[in-house]
Structure 1
Amino acid sequence: MRQKRRMAPVLPVPSTAPAARALPPVAVTLALAALLHTAFWRLVGADMTAYLVPWFDHIVATGPIAAFATPFSNYAPPYLYCLALASLFAGWLPAITLIKLVSVAGTGALALAIGHLLRRLGAASPARGAALVFLLPSVAINASLLGQCDAFWAAACVMAVTAAIDRRHATMLAWCGVAFAFKLQAVLVAPIFLALLIQRRVPIRLWLVAPLTTIALMLPAAAAGWPIADLATVYLRQGTYFADLSRNAPNIWSIVQMLPIGDTPLLGLALAMAIGATAAFTARFSAQPLHGRTVLAAALLAMLVTAGLLPKMHDRYFFLADILALALAVSAGDRRSWLIAALVQTGSVLALFAYVSGIAGFAAIAAVPMLVATWRLARPLLQPAANDNPLLARVAGMTSSPEKPSLMLSTARFAAKVD
C-alpha cells in the first residue's frame, strides 16, 4: 500500500501580544502625530510651489472636469482626481492647505490598509499599530511638508500584499493596478507579486486584471479630452527630467556619486545590476512557497533591492519600504524586526533631509542604514536551499517527504527568523 505523502512541517508563528501591549494607545499616538504634522505644516517644499499649486490653480480656474481636457501635469490622473475633488473647497481654504489635506487623507487610507494587514497577520492590537503610520517622520514629511501623494499608491500596495497573503489573486492584481495608476514607483514591489503569480500558477487570464484596472482609472481623464497617447506615455517622460544617477535616494548610487569618478558612465552598469538582482529575486521566490508574514517580509525585501539598485531613484522612492518595515515590526514584535524598521526609517528621513536642505551628502549617509537593513532582512534567505535549481526546487516543494524536506521547511526557517 502506498504511503500518504506528508508535507514538511511549518513552524508556528509566535504570539505578538507582548509587543502589541508595548505600543502606545491610539489617542497618545495620534496626539503626538498631530504635533509632528503641525510642525511641518508651516513649511513648504519646492515642488509645492513649482508644480502642485499651479496644477491646483488650473483645476480651480478651468473646473474640476474641464481641467482634464488638456494635459496640465506630469502626474497620472488618479491623483489629479483627488485634487479636483479638493478644488470644490477652494473658496474656503488656501490651495496649499487643501493640497496637504489631500495628502493627509491619503495617509489615513494608508493607516486603514495597514490596520487591515495587521489584523490578517493576527497582531494583538492592529489599531495601535496602524496609528503609528501617522507618527512616522517620513510619512509626516511626505504629507504635511511636501504635500505628496505617495500614501495613495502605498496604501494600494499594502492592500495587494494582504490579498496575496489571503491568496485572493484577482484582488491582489486589481490593487496592483490601482497602485500603478497613481505612481510608477509601484513597480518597485512588483517582483514579489510576479514571483507569487508564477509559484502559485495563477492563470494568465487573471494577470490582465492589473493593466485593465490601471486603464479603467485613466478613462475619466480620457473621456474629458486628455489625449490617450499622452496618458499612455506619462511615465516614460518622467525619467527624462534629470540625468543624475541618483537624486537624493538612500541607495548605493548616492555613495558612488560622491566618489571622484569623473564622467564615468555608470547608468548601464546600474541597470544591469538592478535587472540581474530582480531576476534572481523573482526566480528565488517563484520556487519558494510563501505564507503569512513571509509574504510581507519578501515584499519589503523587493522594495529594498529594486530601489536600492535602480538608477534615477528619488528620496521618496523608499516610502513603501518605510510602511512595510513598520508593519513587519509590529506584527513580528521582535528586536530584529524593529531594528530593520528603525534603519529603514533613518535612511528615508536622512534622504528627505538631503532633498530639503540641498546637501547631497546626507543621501550618501542615508544609504548606509538602508543597506544594512537590506542585508539584515535578506540574510536568512542567503542560506542554501534544499535544491538550488528553481525548477527542481518547485517540484521538491510539492512532493516532499520526511526523508526529503522541501523548500517549505526552508521557508519556515526564514519565517522563524523574521518572527
Structure 2
Amino acid sequence: MINKLKPIQNDLLLLSALFVLAIAIRVPALHQTTGDTDIFVQWYRQMMAAGRWDSLSEQIGNYNAPFVYTMLLASYLPGAIVVKLKIAWLCYDVLLAFFTYKLATLAFPGRWRAPVLAALVMLFVPTVATNASFYGQIDAMWASWAVGGIYFLARGRHWWGVTLCTVSIAFKPQGVYILPLIGLLILAGRIPWRSLLAIPVTYLLLDVPAFLAGRDPVELLTIYSLDRQARIIEHVNYGAPSMYAFLKPSADRVDTVKALGYVFCAALVIGIVYVLVARAAALTTERVVMSGTLFALLVPFFLPGMHERYFFLGDVMIVILVFFRPRLWYLAVIEQFASLMVYAPYLFHNNGRPVPLEICATLMLVTIALVTYHLFRDVLTDPPPAAEVSRPAVAEVPVREPAPV
C-alpha cells in the first residue's frame, strides 16, 4: 500500500511546487504599472469618489457592469490600488486554470494527473502569466468564462455552455469570438435553437444590480453598440499580429478597409461553418475544442481594430488543444511566440519590437492555416453518414405466376 501511495505523493508534491512557482512568478510584477493600469487606477478613483456602491448608477470607464462589480470587490482588499486591482484580475487566472482542468478531463477521462498538469501549464503560458500580473490587463476575466462555456458545450450541456459564453461577452465584447462555435453546434443539431434564449436572459441578469442602483438602462444596454465601438476603433490595427499588419491604408481609406474586413471575416466564418455542417461532420469533443480554437484565432486575425492582447483566448485554446492532440504541440509554440513578441513594447515601455510585426502576423496565419487543415482533413476523411452510403443495385428477379393445374 505504501509503495502504491508513494507515486501519488510525489505527484502531489511536484504539482504543489509548480503551483507555488506560478504564484511566485506573478508577485514581482504586482507593483509594476503600465499605461493600462494607469487607466484602471483612474477608473477606480472615479468609482470611489462616486461613493463605491453608489457608483453603480454611473458609467465607470467603457466596460460593462460586471467589470465594475469586480473592481468594487477589489476595493475591499488591502494594499496599493494597483496591487488590489491586479490581485482581483489574477483571480480569473485561477478560474481559467480550473476550466482548463475541466476541459482536459474530457481528453483524459478517469485520470487526474494530466488534467491537473494542463491547469498548471496554463498558469505558466507566457501571455497568461504576464497579462494580469505585469501588463495589468483583464483578458483572463472574459476568456476564462469562454473556456468554461466551451467545456459545457463539449459535454452537451448547452444551457450552461451558452450561459457562460454570454458571461464572457458581458465582461468584454471580445467574448463574441466564440459565438461562431455556438452557431456551428446549433446548425449541426448538437444543441437546440432554444438555448439561445440564455443569451439575453444572462446578459440582462448580470446588469440588474446596476439597473437597481439607478443606471440608465439604455446607456448600459447599448455599451457595445456599433456607434460606440466605431468611436473607439479609429485604426485598422493596434499592434496585433493580424492581417492588418500588412495592410496600412491612408486615413481616407481606413473606414473602407474596416468595412471590407468585417465582411471578409464574416464570410470566412460562414464558409467554415458551412463546410462542417454540409459535410455532416461528427462534432466530437476534440473537434469542438479544435473548432473553438480555430474561431478564437481566426476572428481576431481578420477583424480590424484589434489590440495585441485580443489573441488571448487563442493563446489559451491552442494550449488546451495540445492535450487533445499532442502532435500539434509545435503550433502552440509558434502561436505563443507570435503573441508574446507583440507584448514587448507595452511591457517594457519602449517602441522597439524584438520581432517585426509582419513576421508575428505571418506566424499567426500559419497557425490558423494548420489548425484549419487538421480540422478539415479529419472531417473530409470521415465516412459519409450511414443513410447516404450507397448500396449495390440488386437485379430484380421476375416473379413467375404459378402454372395452372
Q: TM class, shorter-chain normalised?
A: 0.7 to 0.9
CA contact (8 A) 1:315 1:352 kept: yes
Tell me which structure has the larger Cα radius of gyration. 2
2:65 aligned to 55, 74, 77, which one? 77
Q: Using a 3 Å threshold, how does the CA distance of structure 1 residues 299 and 386 change in structure 2: closer, same or farther?
A: closer
Query: What does residue 295 of structure 1 align with?
Result: 288
Assess if the C-alpha contact under 8 Å between 1:289 and 1:397 holds in 2.
no
Does the alignment pair 1:106 with 2:92? yes
Aligned to 1:256, the other structure's residue is in SS state: coil
In structure 2, what is the equivalent of residue 177 of structure 1? 166
Alignment RMSD: 2.8
Tell me what 2:235 maps to.
244
**1:370 maps onto 2:370 in alignment:** no
Aligned-pair CA distance for 1:272? 2.3
Paired residues in the alignment total 371
Maintained 8 Å contact 1:249/1:314: yes
C-alpha contact (below 8 Å) 2:57/2:213 kept by paired residues: yes
One-letter code of the match for 2:305?
K
Is 1:351 aligned to 2:342, yes or no? yes
Does the aligned pair in 1 maintain the 2:90–2:132 contact within 8 Å? yes
Distance 1:397 1:228, change over 3 A: farther
Partner of 1:87: 75
Equivalent of 1:149 in 131, 138, 160: 138
Separation of aligned partners in 1, 2:360 and 2:148: 28
Residues 386 and 41 of structure 1, relative CA distance in 2, 3 Å threshold: closer
- Do the aligned partners of residues 385 and 136 (structure 1) sit closer, same or farther apart at CA in structure 2, a change above 3 Å counting? closer
| 1:115 and 2:101 aligned | yes
Tell me the residue number matched to 1:63.
51
**1:399: which partner in 2?**
387
Task: Name the counterpart of 1:186.
Answer: 175
Q: Which amino acid aligns with 1:342?
A: V
Task: Tell me the secondary structure at the aligned position of residue 266 of structure 1.
Answer: helix
Do 1:343 and 1:373's aligned partners in 2 also have CA atoms closer than 8 Å?
yes
CA distance in 1, matches of 2:386, 2:54: 56
- Cα distance in 1, alignment partners of residues 323 and 24 from structure 2: 23
CA contact (8 A) 2:166 2:199 kept: yes
Contact 2:156 2:190 in 1 (8 A): no
Q: Which residue of 2 aligns with 1:254?
A: 245
Deviation of 1:262 after TM superposition, in Å, equals: 7.8
One-letter code aligned to 1:26: L
* Deviation, structure 1 residue 48: 1.2
CA contact 1:353–1:362 (8 Å) conserved in 2? no
Distance 1:400 1:355, change over 3 A: farther
Match of 1:305 among 285, 293, 298: 298
Percentage identity across paired residues of the two chains: 25
Could you tell me which of 313, 316, 321 is aligned with 1:323?
Answer: 316
Picking from 108, 111, 115, the partner of 1:126 is 115
Contact between 1:340 and 1:373, CA under 8 Å: does it hold in 2? yes
Structure 2 partner of 1:234? 223
Partner-residue secondary structure (3-state), 2:84? helix
The answer to whether the 8 Å contact 1:153/1:180 transfers is yes
Distance of aligned partners of 1:374 and 1:84 in 2 relative to their CA distance in 1, 3 Å threshold: same
Alpha-carbon distance between aligned partners in 1 of 2:342 and 2:230, rounded to the nearest angstrom = 19
What is the CA-CA distance between 1:42 and the residue it aligns to? 3.8
CA distance in 2, matches of 1:343, 1:382: 20
Structure 1 gaps, min length 5:
1-20, 388-392, 405-419
2:137 is paired with a residue whose SS is coil
Q: Find the residue that maps to 1:216 and give its secondary structure.
A: helix
Distance 2:386 2:262 in 1: 35
Other-structure match for 2:403: none
Shift of 1:196: 0.4
Give the stretch that moved more between structures: 346-355 or 152-161: 346-355
**CA pair 188-301 structure 1, distance change in 2 beyond 3 A:** same
Please, what TM-score do these two structures have when normalized by structure 2? 0.84
The alpha-carbon distance between structure 1 residues 367 and 227, as it changes in their structure 2 partners (threshold 3 A), is: same
- Equivalent-residue separation in structure 1 for 2:283 and 2:378 (angstroms): 17
How far did residue 187 of structure 1 move? 0.7
1:35 shift after superposition:
4.0
CA distance in 2, matches of 1:255, 1:35: 38
Shifted more, 102-111 versus 228-237: the winner is 228-237
Report the Cα distance in structure 2 between the residues aligned to 1:279 and 1:330, rounded to whole angstroms: 27
What is the rounded CA distance, in whole Å, between the counterparts of 1:118 and 1:202 in structure 2? Answer: 22
The answer to whether the 8 A contact 2:56-2:214 is kept is yes
Please name the residue that 1:207 is paired with.
196
TM-score, structure 1 as length reference: 0.81
| 8 Å CA contact retained: 1:191, 1:281 | no
Which of 253, 272, 275 is the equivalent residue of 1:281?
A: 272
Deviation at 1:128, TM superposition (A): 1.3
Q: How far, CA to CA, are the matches of 1:403 and 1:329 in structure 2? A: 39
Partner AA of 1:319 in structure 2 = F
Which residue of 208, 214, 217 maps to 1:225? 214
Number of the residue aligned with 2:23: 34
Give, in whole Å, the separation in 1 of the partners of 2:96 and 2:197: 25
1:342 pairs with 2:333: yes
Cα gap change, 1:397/1:226 in structure 2, threshold over 3 Å: closer, same or farther?
Answer: farther
- Deviation, 1:380, is 2.7
CA shift, 1:61, in A, is 3.2
Counterpart of 2:3 in structure 1 is none
Cα distance, 1:246 vs structure 2: 0.9
Q: What is the SS of the residue equivalent to 1:72?
A: coil
Determine if contact 1:250/1:364 at 8 Å carries over to the other structure.
yes
Q: CA offsets, 1:157-197, max 9 Å, x none?
A: 11111111111111111111111111100111211111101
2:41 is matched with 53
1:37 to 1:255, Cα distance in 2 relative to 1, 3 A:
farther
